[in-house]
A = this chain, B = another copy of it.
């Protein structure tokens, strides 16, 4: 029996590809000085572009996300897109009102060009010959997609976590193409603690003898799982782990006095690591975490966050943090908000009380949804005036 689409789902969606950069002139110039040729961008669209093209929203995914934002890839597909709770008819990102696009970042492994893609210079996969990219490079690649789609201005660029960095970068790089920015559970510059966690994660991948300087045929599974498990700890909070797992044991009534998984939290982490290895490329993990390390929106303003936003007079910002997020703690959002207000920018800020840690941006759907739908509605109404 075929399953019916759940209520409020965008239903079955088909990803599209946009390919550019076959010539030197059309190649994508990168922050490193290199140029990227033969660039594919995998994307999905939901809803309908209005006649005057004023309802287009770009949603940015997080580190290990992809273009599959909402809906299903087939009628038998059981797993919806990663933000399906937020995107669909009548949902906060309302596909009855808005035309929504999500594109896989370059450097990724879910359709867009990344280290596992073919290097046109050699005819073999890039692996570690892929150039080191930045959040800015990802955004400039998306700008090509925007032009290709004939969109002249985003109603909003929105994202959580790394997606929020891309949203901020859009506002910074292309202020004339952005009506509003939604920066959720994110930061305007990566802290040394986050750089440190990324470093350890990469060491685990590159230290796995299956990694083979990135030339692996089979994934460096253990190293990649370690990187994921480590990162996963930073996505939860001390409190949410105590509530969800506590010191509960997985199977036995007493400690097993060995080194196998004994506690529920260990079993959970291992499961997360194992699942991740099946869906994500280790080299992509290296490249994207490096891009995150390099993210500092104030780099072009000598580290002065207020100066950095001087070009952004006309966009509206929604900044949302979560009280128990210790990866990108609330104080980092407040720094961002201060810099926006220093420039007289129309800014809405909310620190949502939540015990879910960083992952709250995927879980606190109700509170976040109210903020998102209200903010988008305001932005859209103003555009119609």
Residue of B nearest to A327 (CB): B238
Let me know if B257 and A131 touch, CB within 8 A: yes
Interface stretch, picked from A7-15, A156-164, A206-214, is A206-214
Let me know if A207 and B223 touch, CB within 8 A: yes
Let me know if A193 and B238 touch, CB within 8 A: yes
Partner of A259, one of B206, B244, B258, B329: B206
Interface stretch, picked from A52-60, A167-175, A261-269, A348-356, is A261-269
Residue of B nearest to A32 (CB): B257
How long is the Cα–Cα vector from A222 to B229 in the complex, in angstroms? 18
Let me know if B195 and A247 touch, CB within 8 A: yes
Chain B residues near A128 (CB-CB < 8 A):
259
- A338 at the B interface (CB under 8 A): no
Let me know if B241 and A192 touch, CB within 8 A: yes
- How would residues 233 to 273 of chain A score, 1 for a CB under 8 Å from any chain B CB and 0 otherwise? 10010100110111100000001011101111110010000
Let me know if B192 and A265 touch, CB within 8 A: yes
Output the least CB separation between A114 and chain B (Å).
15
Let me know if A286 and B265 touch, CB within 8 A: no
Interface stretch, picked from A85-93, A289-297, A368-376, is A289-297
Let me know if A196 and B265 touch, CB within 8 A: yes
Chain B residues near A223 (CB-CB < 8 A):
207
How long is the Cα–Cα vector from A376 to B15 in the complex, in angstroms? 70
Output the least CB separation between A250 and chain B (Å).
12
Output the least CB separation between A52 and chain B (Å).
41
Chain copies in complex:
2
Chain B residues near A255 (CB-CB < 8 A):
31, 294
Let me know if B189 and A203 touch, CB within 8 A: no
The interface size bin for chain A is: 35 or more
Chain B residues near A261 (CB-CB < 8 A):
199
Let me know if A247 and B189 touch, CB within 8 A: yes
Partner of A266, one of B195, B262, B326: B195
- Determine chain A's interface SS by DSSP, over half rule: helix
Let me know if B226 and A269 touch, CB within 8 A: no
Let me know if A233 and B200 touch, CB within 8 A: yes
Let me know if B258 and A132 touch, CB within 8 A: yes
How long is the Cα–Cα vector from A60 to B238 in the complex, in angstroms? 27
Chain B residues near A290 (CB-CB < 8 A):
259
Residue of B nearest to A245 (CB): B192
How long is the Cα–Cα vector from A242 to B196 in the complex, in angstroms? 11
How long is the Cα–Cα vector from A192 to B250 in the complex, in angstroms? 13
Partner of A238, one of B32, B132, B269, B329: B329
- A135 at the B interface (CB under 8 A): no
Residue of B nearest to A223 (CB): B207
Residue of B nearest to A248 (CB): B192
How long is the Cα–Cα vector from A263 to B247 in the complex, in angstroms? 36
- A63 at the B interface (CB under 8 A): no
Let me know if A192 and B247 touch, CB within 8 A: yes
- A22 at the B interface (CB under 8 A): no
Ordered by A's residue number, 25 sampled pairs between the chains whose C-beta atoms are within 8 Å are A31-B255, A131-B257, A191-B242, A191-B247, A192-B241, A192-B245, A192-B264, A192-B265, A193-B233, A195-B263, A196-B233, A196-B265, A196-B269, A197-B233, A199-B229, A199-B263, A200-B229, A200-B230, A200-B269, A202-B259, A204-B204, A207-B208, A209-B209, A247-B296, A262-B293
